[in-house]
Amino acid sequence: MSLICLSLRTASLAALVAFSLPAIVSSAQQNVPPAPAAEPAAPAPAAAPVFPPPDPANFTASAPTKETVNGFLQASWGYDQTRVWEVAGIIKTSVDGISQVVVFVGDKTGKQKSSRIQFFALADGKHIIAGDEILPFGDHPYADNRALVKQQADGPYRGAADKDLEIVEFADFQCPHCKDAQANMEKLATDFPKARIVYQNYPLPMHKEAAGAAAYGVCVAKQAGSNAFYTFAAAVFDGQDGLASPDGATLTLNSAVTKAGLDPVKIATCAKTPATVAEVDASVKLAKDLGVNQTPTLLVNGRPVPANAPYDTIKQIVEFQEKLDGLSN
């Protein structure tokens, strides 16, 4: 599995068009003589897409049912009130238990171009293959992730002690996009005071000082608790450029430990112990078990969301997930 630090989630099919981010349209100017001036035509009013009517001949597989596919799409896309779709086919393939699902998706305001996507539903009824990714599937596609997070996400946290609404951040101290995402994390803490917001270390191999920074963070949290950890983390992200070299990393991390009110020598000693390294490794394993392959990623009650997507989109998804899980008033 390729591990990357990304500015936005770029999974196959945009994780089944998981986020309603504005499309970027490029245009070119041609060197042609100007046309004679004319009265500008009134723009055509935007209209909802009209999908081709489903053909019964395209529903040859016994599973999944159209209701299950629609339930999955509602769970995945329902946060976006402008999105519309039509399940166009659930087709039996040459492999027993694997079905091809075809969906038309569009924007009911007519501002975005409609598209046709496809994925393959697997025999277990709980997973699909979309492009080169295996993704959770079903009416409640994030339930297994949520259970695993509740059991194993044990990093420092802020907010609520209970785990009814749990937002887990997988981040790498040396990832620049993780640094950028901290503004979103602060807003989430303010807007969702009843949420438990957990930090899980996910140092990527490409960042040579990230694992050491993660180990320091584990020791800070162990010795002084979550509040001290978040003071330390903010200082490390602020001084992230210092992690570019081993000597710079030592200075940056020791300075962050001091700002958290702790002794850098004691934290450095703790960070090198096998037990601390094992804690960092366990957090990395948890990320991989959850299918997280890039930083920064949030899991909102098990639902993956890029931590540096536009904040309004993240907030919309968190609110929708609350409703799905019966948490909203």
pLDDT in tens, 130-183: 988 889 999 999 999 999 999 999 999 999 999 999 999 999 999 999 999 999
* All domains in the chain, ordered by first residue: 51-141 (no CATH), 144-324 (3.40.30.10)
Output 41 or 74, whichever has higher pLDDT: 74
**What whole-number distance in Å separates Cα of residue 267 and Cα of residue 215?**
9
pLDDT averaged over the chain? 88
Tally the residues of the chain.
Answer: 329
> Using 50, 70 and 90 to split pLDDT, how confident is the model at 37?
very low
**What whole-number distance in Å separates Cα of residue 127 and Cα of residue 315?**
26
How are strands ordered across the β-sheet holding 127-130?
A: 83-92, 99-107, 115-121, 127-130, 133-136
Q: Say if CB 177 and CB 295 are below 8 A apart.
A: yes
- Give the H/E segment covering residue 239: none
CA distances from 18 to 1, 177, 180 (A): 20, 19, 21
Q: Say if CB 249 and CB 264 are below 8 A apart.
A: no
Spatial CA neighbour of 14 closest among 206, 109, 197, 6: 6
Tell me the average pLDDT across 238-253. 97
**What whole-number distance in Å separates Cα of residue 135 and Cα of residue 141?**
9
Global confidence as pTM: 0.85
Residue 142 Cα to chain centre, angstroms:
12
**Does the pLDDT of residue 32 top 50, yes or no?**
no
DSSP secondary-structure letter at 30?
Answer: -
